Amino acid sequence: MDSWILPLILIVPVITLLAILFIPKNNDETIKNITIFGSAISGILSLYVFMAFAQTRDPNQFDFSMVWLRNLSIRLDFGVDGISALMVLLVGIVYLTGTLISCKITERIKEFFILYILLIIGVYGVFISQDLFFFFFFYELAVVPMYLLIAVWGHSSEFETFNRTKEYGALKLMLVLVASSILIWIGILSTFVVANQNSFLFKDLIDANIGNDFQIFIFPFFLIGFGVLAGLWPFHTWSPDGHVAAPTSVSMVHAGILMKLGAYGILRSIEFLPAGAQEWMWLLLILGTINVVYGALSAMAQKDLKYVIGYSSVSHMGYVLMGLATLNVIGVAGSVLQMFSHGIMTALFFALVGVIYERTHSRDIETLDGLIKPMGIAGTLFVIAGLTSLGLPGLSGFVAELFIFIGVFQTNPLMAILGVIGAAITAVYILRLIARIFFGTVSEKWANLPDISKFELIPSVILAFFIVFMGVLPIYFIDAVNESVKELINAYLSNFVAG
Amino acid sequence: MENITNNLTYLIPEIIIIALGFIIIGIGIFTRIRNKFILPFASITGLIFTAIYITFFFDIGNIHILSTTDHNQMKDLFIYGGLLKLDSFSLLFKFIFIILGIFVILMSIDYVDKHVNHEGEFYGLIILSIAGMMIMSAANELLTAYIGLELLSFSLYILVSLGNDPEKTNESSIKYILLGGFTSALVLYGISQIYTELVKNDIVNPTFFSSIGIYATQYETFPPLFMFGLFLLITGLGFKIAAAPFHTWAPDIYEGAPLPIAGYLATASKLAGIALILRIFSEIFEGSHSSLVIIVAILAILTMSIGNITAIAQTKYRRLIAYSGISHMGYILVGLATNTVDSYTAIILHSIGYAFSGLVIFGVLICFYNQTNKENINDLSGLYKTNSFLAVSITIALLSTAGLPFFVGFISKFYLFLAAVEQDLLWLVIIALINSLISLYYYLMVIKEMYVNEPDDVLAISTNNIEKLVLITSLIGVIGLGIYPDIIMDAINSASISVFIR
């Protein structure tokens, strides 16, 4: 039974997608119900995968394998360890909540959900694939629907001096991501050839003991290729533009999950290119630190609410990258926790920004004020997300960032100090933002806004629950992740002991 | 010659098809049929019959198109003293040509009814050209190949001129016949050079591909005369598949020819060229000739880059598709420069995927053109609103040609590039990848036109059942092969082994 769980995680969205495909266009209610039902099943399956893993911590319990293309010995090989199990849970949560949030959409809802589910299939696939080919297959698949999702259902934004149309955001995102995947193509093709194992499986590539010179040559391709998706400075500009142009639920998936694919990709390439990773990690550490500080400063300068959150994502992804760059257990574990924490938190942020925009039709920080009065629940949830973002103890962000800073201090204290400064800047802009738009006197035109509705409340509360749960009981998550991270780092270190 | 009757049974598919072609032309000329369905359905019945015959009843030893064949047990069949070679390669390609012919005829029905005056000739010549392509894929010798090539080309010269709008068709048909005739002459001249060179070296059967192989192994660098002949041959074949710098005819001819014929040129005719190229080059590359690899690689770079960069500037969809098709031949040439069994497998897979997505693209454009008579890319605006099925179909096909996953384009490109990297051609692959990115840009522009922009007229565009059938079947090809390519890998493997290893 257990070996079918992971294929099932892919099959359930596929069935949902096919079901929607055959429902006539104007049955909006049926389409919504089926998608919600399907995403709920996916959510439960994801939760099951994570909890079952947390119980046994046996990385082989869900293994599934079948031959896909004999010629190239490509295998459809699924499996999870602690890291990917946590990511699967993240996808499950964001998928379900994003679906609920999307029920507000009125225009072309059938097509929206088809593309949205396609995106979800892609991200699920990346996290459960144990085969480099399929990892990349699903990675590219997740990029495909983004263009239409943003260009059709997104919002253009207008500023005093310039405009950003949704088509611009969509095109930029798509072209940058596909351009970065050229680097990954090169990396994968040459790694396969050099490893000479006639297999794309991660474990075979790890066993191949690829030569050091080649590793050092090829690792930057993976680092930059995946790094672009993780919002690595200076290739991050597609990300705020894309987030802002995207409709709410797509922003949630995009910032919440899609950017994690990049970090996860770097993590996986450390496994089979240890020497390359060791050689290049200084670069990732520096760029990651720049991400944190630069992202936070840019967020502080924004006037558009969604751009603030967009840049805060860039800043927070910087912590993830810094954690990865430490290559010690505590730093990498913190980075994985941060991926989860930031995924949930930013999804909540974008959900609430969607709620606010829906009612006020404005994302301008200057014009919004006192919103806590008409929108008490939404405001409270926003404050929770904000406090997570600045790393308040008791909420999920604290544990993750603490781990990362400890890890970075062990390798490079200077960068750690810069990172902490970045965290301080985060506190400044988040508190200022909250004070500006939620507190103070409420202006007349906002005074009678309706508060959050049922379909917005349920997903927001689910997200907030996980933030608090992880903040209060971090040990549950840490235990699940720690062992896999230890294994990864030990395998990484053993390369140098032997060599 | 004593077993000419024996050999004749091996030619039954070709004989059926040629007879069918003449019957259809005859019916078209000598009867006054007013129903637009009779001729195409008669043609399709004949073609389906032949396809079934090839698949299930064509007994040539133990070679079978659908089965796994261990190459060690496979014995290729030479007929007519070796003029034709029946192996799994030719069988596979014959099958593909017939299928493509069926699809193109199905797509043509409405178009022919509206825009073409000579139905009988139209369908009959398509069928005759299929026979030409079948001979090309089975040819084992230069002159036989040339005959097949000419049968195909002459049918196409007429087909290109069959539209009833002389303003458009005249230019393109004259251009095509002049350029085509010229390159034909070059090919013939090239063959004569090669022949002379081989005779000088006392090689028996001097026009046979295998003799060229024997000749090629004798030399480290080819003598100039042979090189010259080879160059002319490459020119002719490059013209056929529209590889740069012999590509300039393609956009003009696509623009003026009847749209289904443009589709036919873009899919079937190019595949026939590829089949012949694979046959010849597998022999020429027998000895490792790095200078030839460089020439093919340069052609590949030119073809990809010129195709893609020029495509960005196009405003008419026929020209856009023409240039995108040109760039695809560049990817095929990357595989050719690689020259391994794997790369041949990848080329065949890529061509099949390309043909399927080409069918979808042209199927959609034919539907669109039949009802609107519009030719610009921005006329496609809002197609999603006027007919969502057409918009979704062409989007899938475009994304597949751009090489994105779920569709056959991804795995075939991956295979092709992997084969190239295995032969240390990473630099060529990088150029190809950058080209894929460029192509994605102009495909996205088309997609944006269809989904984001509003339609000019709110007039709904309809699709009839035949068009739906064609599109859905080809889409199943595009998506099905993308999800599980293994189902046709047996056929492709044995085809590439039989052409490469012999």
pLDDT 10s digits, A169-198:
888 888 898 889 899 989 999 888 888 888
With a pLDDT cut of 70, the percent of chain B lying above it is 93
DSSP helix, strand, coil percent of chain A (3-state; round to 5): 75, 5, 20
CA pair distance A279, A260, nearest whole angstrom: 23
Instruction: Please say if the pLDDT value at position B74 is more than 70.
Output: no
Whole-number pLDDT of residue B1: 46
Q: Closest to B493 (Cβ–Cβ): which among A71, A111, A144?
A: A71
Flag if B418 and A189 touch (Cβ within 8 Å). Answer: yes
Whole-number pLDDT of residue B146: 92
Task: Tell me whether B182 touches chain A (CB under 8 Å).
Answer: no
Residue A321 tokens, joined: 């990258």
Flag if A167 and B452 touch (Cβ within 8 Å). Answer: yes
Q: A160: Cβ–Cβ under 8 A, 6 or more apart, which residues?
A: none
Select from B180, B184, B185, B191 the least CA-distant residue to B229: B191
Q: B286: Cβ–Cβ under 8 A, 6 or more apart, which residues?
A: B213, B214, B216, B217
Shortest CA gap A238–chain B (Å)? 16
Contact B449, B380 (CB under 8 A): yes
- In total, chain B counts a number of residues equal to 502
Q: A396: Cβ–Cβ under 8 A, 6 or more apart, which residues?
A: A337, A340, A341, A344, A345, A388, A466, A467, A468, A469, A470, A471, A474
pLDDT 10s digits, A270-291:
888 888 888 888 888 899 999 8
Contact A68, A75 (CB under 8 A): yes
Residue B70 Ramachandran class (φ > 0 left, ψ -120 to 50 alpha, else beta): beta
Task: Tell me whether B153 touches chain A (CB under 8 Å).
Answer: no
User: Measuring CA to CA, how many Å separate B492 from each of A243, B65, B202, B209, B479?
Assistant: 44, 9, 36, 21, 18
Instruction: Please say if the pLDDT value at position B257 is more than 70.
Output: yes
Is ipTM strictly over 0.90? no
Q: Is B85 helix (H, G, I), strand (E, B) or coil?
A: strand
pLDDT 10s digits, B386-418:
888 888 899 999 999 988 888 998 999 999 999
pLDDT 10s digits, B311-362:
998 888 989 999 999 999 999 999 988 888 888 999 999 999 999 999 999 9
Task: Tell me whether B312 touches chain A (CB under 8 Å).
Answer: no
Q: B362: Cβ–Cβ under 8 A, 6 or more apart, which residues?
A: B107, B259, B260, B262, B263, B266, B267, B321
Collect all residues of chain A within an 8 Å Cβ-Cβ radius of residue B404.
Answer: 140-141, 143-144
Flag if B426 and A186 touch (Cβ within 8 Å). Answer: yes
Higher pLDDT, B57 or B143: B143
Task: Tell me whether A439 touches chain B (CB under 8 Å).
Answer: no
Flag if B421 and A190 touch (Cβ within 8 Å). Answer: yes
Best mutation site among B400, B452, B481 for testing chain A: the one with the most A CBs within 10 Å? B452
Flag if B421 and A133 touch (Cβ within 8 Å). Answer: no
Shortest CA gap A78–chain B (Å)? 16
Collect all residues of chain B within an 8 Å Cβ-Cβ radius of residue A71.
Answer: 342, 345, 415, 489, 493
CA pair distance A283, A299, nearest whole angstrom: 23
Give A306: exposed, middle or buried? Use CB within 10 Å, 0-12, 13-18, 19+: buried
Q: Closest to A148 (Cβ–Cβ): which among B422, B451, B489?
A: B451
Mean pLDDT of chain B: 86
Contact A98, A347 (CB under 8 A): yes
Task: Tell me whether B448 touches chain A (CB under 8 Å).
Answer: yes
Q: Which residue from B minimizes the CA distance to A180?
A: B437
φ/ψ of B231, rounded to 5, equals: -60, -45
Instruction: Please say if the pLDDT value at position B494 is more than 90.
Output: no
Average pLDDT over residues A121-149: 89
Best mutation site among B388, B414, B430 for testing chain A: the one with the most A CBs within 10 Å? B414
Select from A319, A323, A261 the least CA-distant residue to A292: A319
Q: Closest to A189 (Cβ–Cβ): which among B345, B421, B486?
A: B421
* Neighbouring C-alpha atoms within 13 Å toward the C-beta of A90: 37
Task: Tell me whether B431 touches chain A (CB under 8 Å).
Answer: no
Q: Is B16 helix (H, G, I), strand (E, B) or coil?
A: helix
pLDDT 10s digits, B128-186:
999 999 999 988 888 999 999 999 999 999 999 888 888 888 888 899 999 999 999 99
Collect all residues of chain B within an 8 Å Cβ-Cβ radius of residue A143.
Answer: 404
Q: Which residue from B minimizes the CA distance to A121?
A: B406
pLDDT 10s digits, A350-379:
888 888 888 888 778 877 777 777 777 888
Instruction: Please say if the pLDDT value at position B482 is more than 60.
Output: yes
pLDDT 10s digits, A315-326:
999 999 999 888
Q: Which amino acid is at A377?
A: I
User: Measuring CA to CA, how many Å separate B302 from each of A370, B78, B343, B346?
Assistant: 62, 37, 20, 21
Contact A323, A407 (CB under 8 A): yes
Q: Which residue from B minimizes the CA distance to A150?
A: B452
Q: Which residue has the tokens 């829906």?
A: A358
pLDDT 10s digits, A202-249:
888 888 878 888 888 889 999 999 999 888 888 888 888 888 888 888
DSSP H or E segment with residue A157: strand A157-158
Instruction: Please say if the pLDDT value at position A497 is more than 70.
Output: no
Select from B299, B80, B58, B343 the least CA-distant residue to B208: B80
Flag if A186 and B342 touch (Cβ within 8 Å). Answer: no
Average pLDDT over residues A469-483: 86
Instruction: Please say if the pLDDT value at position A67 is more than 80.
Output: yes
CA pair distance B141, B212, nearest whole angstrom: 10
Q: What is the largest CA-CA distance in chain A?
A: 71
Whole-number pLDDT of residue B214: 82
Q: What is the DSSP pairing of strand B84-86 with strand B77-79?
A: antiparallel
Flag if B451 and A151 touch (Cβ within 8 Å). Answer: yes
CA pair distance B222, A262, nearest whole angstrom: 50
Q: What is the dihedral of CA A278, A282, A287, A291, to 10 degrees?
A: 90
Shortest CA gap A67–chain B (Å)? 9
Average pLDDT over residues A49-76: 82
Whole-number pLDDT of residue B287: 57
Show which of residues 449-478 on chain B sit within 8 Å of chain A, judged by CB atoms.
Answer: 451-452
Domain that holds residue A255: 2-498
Q: B442: Cβ–Cβ under 8 A, 6 or more apart, which residues?
A: B308, B311, B312, B314, B320, B324
Taking the CB of residue A373, how many other CB atoms lie within 10 A of it?
A: 16
Task: Tell me whether B421 touches chain A (CB under 8 Å).
Answer: yes
The answer to whether the Cα torsion of B386, B392, B393, B398 is positive or negative is: positive
Collect all residues of chain B within an 8 Å Cβ-Cβ radius of residue A192.
Answer: 418, 421
Q: Which residue has the tokens 């119900």?
A: A33
DSSP structure string for A416-484: HHHHHHHHHHHHHHHHHHHHHHHSSPPPGGGTT-----HHHHHHHHHHHHHHHHHHH-HHHHHHHHHHH
Best mutation site among A25, A72, A123, A228 for testing chain B: the one with the most B CBs within 10 Å? A72
With a pLDDT cut of 90, the percent of chain A lying above it is 8
φ/ψ of A105, rounded to 5, equals: -65, 135
Tally of domains in chain A? 1
Collect all residues of chain A within an 8 Å Cβ-Cβ radius of residue B418.
Answer: 72, 189, 192-193
Q: Is A383 helix (H, G, I), strand (E, B) or coil?
A: helix
Shortest CA gap A366–chain B (Å)? 31
Average pLDDT over residues B469-492: 88
Angle between helices B119-138 and B38-52 (to 10 degrees): 20
Shortest CA gap B422–chain A (Å)? 6
Flag if B426 and A189 touch (Cβ within 8 Å). Answer: yes
Shortest CA gap A364–chain B (Å)? 26
Flag if B415 and A71 touch (Cβ within 8 Å). Answer: yes
Best mutation site among A76, A189, A192, A194 for testing chain B: the one with the most B CBs within 10 Å? A189
CA pair distance A12, A10, nearest whole angstrom: 6
Best mutation site among B412, B433, B447, B493 for testing chain A: the one with the most A CBs within 10 Å? B433
Collect all residues of chain B within an 8 Å Cβ-Cβ radius of residue A193.
Answer: 418, 421-422
Task: Tell me whether A11 touches chain B (CB under 8 Å).
Answer: no
Q: Closest to A192 (Cβ–Cβ): which among B345, B399, B418?
A: B418
Q: Closest to A141 (Cβ–Cβ): which among B405, B433, B441?
A: B405
Residue A92 tokens, joined: 């499950």
Select from A220, A33, A166 the least CA-distant residue to A109: A33
Contact B263, B358 (CB under 8 A): yes
Q: Is A394 helix (H, G, I), strand (E, B) or coil?
A: coil
